[in-house]
Structure 1
Amino acid sequence: MRILVTGGAGFIGSEYVRMLLGASGRHTPEVSAMTPTRLTVLDALTYSGNPANLDPVRDDPRLHFVQGDIRHAELVDRLVPGHDVIVHFAAESHVDRSIAGATPFVTTNVLGTQTLLDAALRHGVRRFVHVSTDEVYGSIAEGSWTERWPLAPNSPYSASKAGSDLLALAFHRTHGMDVVVTRCSNNYGPYQYPEKVIPLFVTNLLDAGTVPLYGDGGNVRDWLHVHDHCRGIALVQQRGRAGEIYHIGGGTELTNKELTARLLDACGAGWDRVVAVPDRKGHDRRYSLDITKIQTELGYAPSIPFDTGLADTVRWYREHRSWWEPLKTAAAG
C-alpha cells in the first residue's frame, strides 16, 4: 500500500507516520493490516511543522519526505499519482491565530483541500481520508454531537475546516470518490507545538513561568491522546464506509480550570503561577462528541487513560527540552 500523508511533520500527522512505520512506541493492532510499502509525507514546514518529529523513522527506506504546500497545484499533481490512499492532516489549526488573521486558514484549509481532492480524482486515488475537528459544530450545552449534527462554526479556523469537510463530502456525492471524514476532540501528547494549551502550560511551568487561564476557566473540552486519535483514523482508513463521517473522542471532559489544576499538580506548581486573562473572542463553551458510530461499526475505544497519558506527556516534555526550547525561542524572537 502506498500512502500519501499531508502535514506528516506536524503533531498529529507525525504520530500517524511513526505509527504506520512501527515507531510509535505503542502496540497498535489496527496497523497490522495496512503496513505501507511506501509512505510519502508532504509538509510545508510552517512554524508548527518540524522535521525532528520524523527523526524516529528518518532512516526507514519506505519514507519519502517532500517539502511543499498543498495549495501548489503543480506540485500536488506531480506527487499524487502512484498513491493508493491520501490521509489529509495538513491544516492551519490555531484558533487564536485565525482570529488575528483568517487568510491562511481559508487558503490552506479550503483551497488546499480542494487542490488535493482535484488531484485525487484526476489520478484515481482509491481512498481519501479527511481529518477534521469537533470545532465545526460550534458549542453544545449538554449531551453530545452525533455525526448528523448541523455545522455551526464560531471561529475562522473552525469555519475553514467546516468548508473543507463539505468539499470532501461533495466530491463523494458528485464524483463517487471514496472519501471518509473524521472529526476528533482535543488532542494531547508528545511533539505538540507549544502554543496549544497542554504543551504551553507544561513548558511554561517547567521554566518556572506563569500560565494564562481564559475567562472563568469553565470552558469544557474532551481530551484525546494523539495515539488513540491515530488508531481511530487507521480504523476508518481500513474499514470506514465511503461518504461517512466518524467521530473520534477520548471520553475525558474537563473544564479548563480542572485541566489547569492537573497540570499544576503534575509540574509541582501552585495557583500563584496562573494569570487570569480576558476570554477569547467567540470562545466555544463546551465540546462533546458521541463516538457510538465508530465504536459499533469499527470497534474503536480509547486505550490510554487520561491520567496516564497526561503523566507520560509531562514526562516527555521534561525529558525533551532540546525539542521544544528552540521552538519557544524562535516564537519569542
Structure 2
Amino acid sequence: MRSRPKRTRNGIARPGGRGCRSGSGRRSARARGPIGGKRPPPRPGRSPRPPPGPGRSPRRERDRARGLRNRALLRRLGRPGPPECAARRCRRDVRGLGHVWAERIVILVTGAAGFLGREVVRQLRARGATVRAVDMVEDAPPAEGVERMTGDLVDPAFCRAVVPGVQAVVHSAAVQFHTPGVPRFRIEPFFRRNAAMTRALLDASIAAGVRRFVLVSSDMVYGPPARPGLLREDAPTHPVGPYGRSKVESEAHARAARGRFEDVTILRPSVIIGPGRLGLLQKLFDMVRTGRAVPMFGPGHNRHHMIAVDDLARACLLALDRGTHGTYNVASQNPPTTREMLSELCRRAGSSSILMALPTPPLQLALRMLWSVRLSPMNPEQFLIAPVDYVLDTSAARNELGFEARRHDTDTMVDTYRWYVETLGDGHRAPSALR
C-alpha cells in the first residue's frame, strides 16, 4: 500500500518519512537520531552543540537562558518587572535616563529649595521622575512624587542617608555670596564647603551605586580671559576669588570619580537670571525704577553671557539624558553688549535713567579700596570681570547634549525686572545655598 505524503514545515515531503530528501524512502542516519545511544560526529567545521537539559528542547534552553539574563539585568538596574520586557527597557535605558522618566527612576536634586533647584525639580516631575529633594532649608510645600530631606551635605552621614535607591544626582547646592548667613567680607571658610560637600556626596553616591552624576559648576572658574575670544572648556582656569576656586576644586573631585560612575557631567553655566532671583541686579533695578543714572565700566561695548533658569534646568535634564564624561559651557545665544542690554531695559521699563560710562581702572581701584574697608557693593570676582568680554563657547553642549538656549538675555532681564517691580524688590526669594 502506497503511503500518503506527509506535510512538513517546508511543504510536501516525499514518502517514507518526514524531512527525507532522498528518493529511497528512508530517513538518513542523522535525521533518525542516535543509534545505539551514540550521536553521530558533528559535521566538519561545526562545534558540537551541548545537549539540552532533561526534558528540554534546545529552543527552550535558549529561552530559559535569555530569561535568566533579563532577570539579572533587572536586578542590576534595580527595577522589578517581567523578564519579557527587560530587553526593551535596556535598549531604551542605555540611551539615557531621559527615555525612562515614567518608570521607577529616582533622581536626587541638591539645593532643591533654591532658584535653580526648584526649576530642576519642576521639570523632572513634569517628565514623571520621582525626585528626592535635598536642601539645608525646608522652603517648599509637600508635592506628589517629591521626597524632601533637610540636612547639611558637608556631613558624610547625611550624604549616605540621602543616596540609597537613587539612580542619578543633580548636584546644584553651593554656598554663594548672597547665601543667607554668609558674611560678605569673611567668606573664604564658607566657600570651602562647596568642595567638601561635593566630595562627600560623590563618595556616598559611589558606595550606593549611583549611575549618573551631574555637577553644576560655574563660568567663574575661568577668571579674566587671558586673550580675546570665546572661552572654551579647555581654557586655563584662573579664578580670582573664593567662589571660583571652590568650583575648580569641586570639579577636580568630580573628574577623579569618573571611573566609578557611568557618567559624570560638569556644567559651567554663566550668570543665572530669571524672575525670582535678584542678587546684584537689585541695585540695578532700583536705579532703573527710580530714574537714576546707571554707571557702566567703560563705554559698555563688552559682552557678558547669561542664562535663563529654565534653560539651565533643561540643560541639567539633557545631561541626565545624554550624559557623558564631559564638561560643558551652558549659556544663552548671541549675548548683547552691556550698553545694548541696559538701553533696552530702560526703554522697555519706561525709565528716564541714562547710562553713565566711567573709566575702568579708577572705578576698579575705588571698588577695591571699598572692599578693603567692607563697604564695596561688588566683590572682586564681580568687578574684575565686569569690564571684559566674558563670552562662552557653547558648541560642545549644542553638539553633544543637544542644548540650545531658548531665552534671550535681554528678554529674561526684562522679565526679571517686571517681577521685581511687582514684588517691590523683596529680595532673593530662594534662601538656599545654590548657584
| TM over 0.5, shorter chain | yes
1:135 matched to 2:239 = no
SS in 1 for 2:407: coil
- Confirm or deny: 8 A CA contact 2:287 2:294 kept in the other structure: no
Mapped partners of 1:166, 1:87: distance in 2? 17
1:281 aligned to which of 380, 399, 418:
380
SS in 1 for 2:266: strand
1:14 aligned to which of 105, 108, 118:
118
Identity over the aligned pairs, expressed in percent? Answer: 29
1:271 aligned to which of 347, 353, 362:
353
In structure 1, the partner of 2:327 is 245
In structure 1, the partner of 2:175 is 92
Mapped partners of 1:86, 1:269: distance in 2? 44
Stretch of structure 1 that moved more, 250-259 or 275-284: 275-284
- Confirm or deny: 8 A CA contact 2:294 2:353 kept in the other structure: no
Which of the two has higher C-alpha Rg? 2
Stretch of structure 1 that moved more, 89-98 or 309-318: 89-98
In structure 1, the partner of 2:399 is 296
Code of the aligned partner of 2:195: V
Report Cα offsets for 1:289-318 as digits up to 9, x if no partner.
Answer: 111112112322111233433333333333
Length, aligned pairs only: 301
1:316 aligned to which of 419, 425, 431:
419
1:169 matched to 2:252 = no
Give the deviation of 1:122 after TM superposition.
1.0
> Relative to 1, partners in 2 of residues 1:214 and 1:68: Cα closer, same or farther, differing over 3 Å?
farther
In structure 2, the partner of 1:27 is none
In structure 2, the partner of 1:261 is 343
Please give the TM-score of this superposition, normalised by the length of structure 2: 0.62
In structure 1, the partner of 2:264 is 179
SS in 2 for 1:139: coil
Give the deviation of 1:222 after TM superposition.
0.7
1:81 aligned to which of 164, 188, 191:
164
Mapped partners of 1:9, 1:209: distance in 2? 34
In structure 2, the partner of 1:158 is 244
In structure 1, the partner of 2:201 is 116
> Relative to 1, partners in 2 of residues 1:263 and 1:94: Cα closer, same or farther, differing over 3 Å?
farther
Give the deviation of 1:17 after TM superposition.
1.3
Structure 2: unaligned runs, 5 residues or longer: 1-104, 368-378
SS in 1 for 2:412: helix
Please give the TM-score of this superposition, normalised by the length of structure 1: 0.79
Code of the aligned partner of 2:191: V
- Confirm or deny: 8 A CA contact 1:91 1:105 kept in the other structure: no
Stretch of structure 1 that moved more, 141-150 or 113-122: 141-150
Mapped partners of 2:348, 2:168: distance in 1? 40
Structure 1: unaligned runs, 5 residues or longer: 23-31
Give the deviation of 1:147 after TM superposition.
1.8
- Confirm or deny: 8 A CA contact 1:8 1:17 kept in the other structure: yes
1:196 matched to 2:295 = no
> Relative to 1, partners in 2 of residues 1:211 and 1:39: Cα closer, same or farther, differing over 3 Å?
farther
1:216 aligned to which of 289, 293, 298:
298
> Relative to 1, partners in 2 of residues 1:42 and 1:203: Cα closer, same or farther, differing over 3 Å?
farther
1:41 matched to 2:142 = no
Compare the two structures and name the one with the higher helix fraction. Answer: 1
Compare the two structures and name the one with the higher strand fraction. Answer: 1
SS in 1 for 2:217: strand
Give the deviation of 1:163 after TM superposition.
0.8
Mapped partners of 2:298, 2:178: distance in 1? 19
Cα RMSD between the aligned structures?
A: 3.0
SS in 1 for 2:305: strand
Report Cα offsets for 1:196-252 as digits up to 9, x if no partner.
Answer: 32x54335644x3868746437463112211111111211111021x2112211024
Give the deviation of 1:70 after TM superposition.
1.2
> Relative to 1, partners in 2 of residues 1:77 and 1:258: Cα closer, same or farther, differing over 3 Å?
same
- Confirm or deny: 8 A CA contact 1:98 1:156 kept in the other structure: no
Stretch of structure 1 that moved more, 109-118 or 273-282: 273-282
Give the deviation of 1:80 after TM superposition.
1.1
Stretch of structure 1 that moved more, 153-162 or 246-255: 246-255
